[in-house]
Every structure is written in structure tokens, then in C-alpha cells.
Amino acid sequence: MEKRTLFELTSEARAIEDALIENGGELTPELEIAMTDNREALVAKVESYGMLYRKFKYTASMIAEEIKRLQAMKKTAENGEKRIKERLEFNMRANEMTVLEGGTTRVSFAKNPASIEVNEEAMIAPYMFLIDQLAESLPPYIKIDVKVSKDVIKQMYKETGVMPAGAEQVQTESIRIR
């Protein structure tokens, strides 16, 4: 038996149906053989599709389970990494150490890039009357979402050396393990 695609089998079934209509519904021996052959081929094709579908479904399920297992392993490793850093940092600070060197490992404190901390409420408060006036003039389906841009504040501070009220530059440090 020749292999035919699902599309070809569907087209054949339509052609058989059209031939029956042309014959006034008379089922000729040729049309009966064609119908039987088409039905058997469709059944075989559906079985093949069903097996392939179940294989893909099972594979996707197994991959999803493996992803969950690997995510759990990742979380465990990240938690372990975090706890080790916390313990080293706590003990170094308790012993007033800034550097701790082993045979192949060096632990030290390093400054993080400066960041901007903002009190959005304090920074926005002087402008609330303007924001309220603007909001009142807008249709009800337009909302105003006011946010303070830390990036713009940082850039302004670099250029002018002036930090707006309600914002401050913060310098933190963290432990580095090499």
C-alpha cells in the first residue's frame, strides 16, 4: 500500500463523495473499493498520528519534570552559595578583617557601584498640586503614573554635583570570593 498524507486521504474522501453525488448516490464496485481503501488508510494514518502525538506529549512531560528537578537543584546551589558568603562576611566583620587569604582562595570586601536611593514621596510632594491639576483635566480613562528616575538623578549628579532633595547617593560594599 502506498503512503499517502493526511491531506491526500482527505482529498480522496472528498473526491469519492463528489463521485457518489454525480452518480446520484449509486455506490459502484469501484467507489466501494476506493471508500474501503481510503477508510483503512485513514485509520492507519490516525494510529500513526496518535502514536506520534503521545510520544511528543510524553517527551514534553519528561522535559518539564527535568526542568523542575534542575530548577530545584539550582535553587539549592544558589542558597548554599548565599549562606557561605553570609557566613564569611559575618565572621570577617566580627573579626574586623577586610581580607582573608587561603591557599587558592581570597576573600575580601569591595565597594559596589554607587547607587541612588530616593524617597519618592518626598520628591514628588512639592509637585502634587500640578499633578492633581493635570489629572483633573484628563478624561477618566487616562491615568498618570508618576515615577522618579534614578538614572536621570544619577546623570544630573554627575554633571552638576547637586543631588535633589529626597535623594542620596549610597555606597555599599559586598564580599568577593576569588
Q: In this structure, which amino acid lies at residue 83?
A: R
Please compute, for residue 35, the number of CA atoms within 13 A of its CA located in the half-sphere on the CB side. 11
- Report percent pLDDT > 90 for the chain: 78
Q: What is d(CA 137, CA 149) in angstroms, rounded to the nearest whole number?
A: 25
- Using H for helix, E for strand and C for coil, what is the string for 108-166? EEEECCCEEEECHHHHHHHHHHHHHHHHHHCCCCCCCCCCCCHHHHHHHHHHHCCCCCC
- Inform me whether the pLDDT recorded for 137 exceeds 80: yes
Mean pLDDT confidence for 16-28:
89
- Inform me whether the pLDDT recorded for 53 exceeds 60: yes
pLDDT of 51 reads: 96
pLDDT of 121 reads: 85
Nearest to 173 by CA among 115, 103, 105, 129: 115
Q: Tell me the CA distances in angstroms from 106 to 96, 121, 161, one per residue in order.
A: 16, 42, 36
**pTM of the entire structure?**
0.56
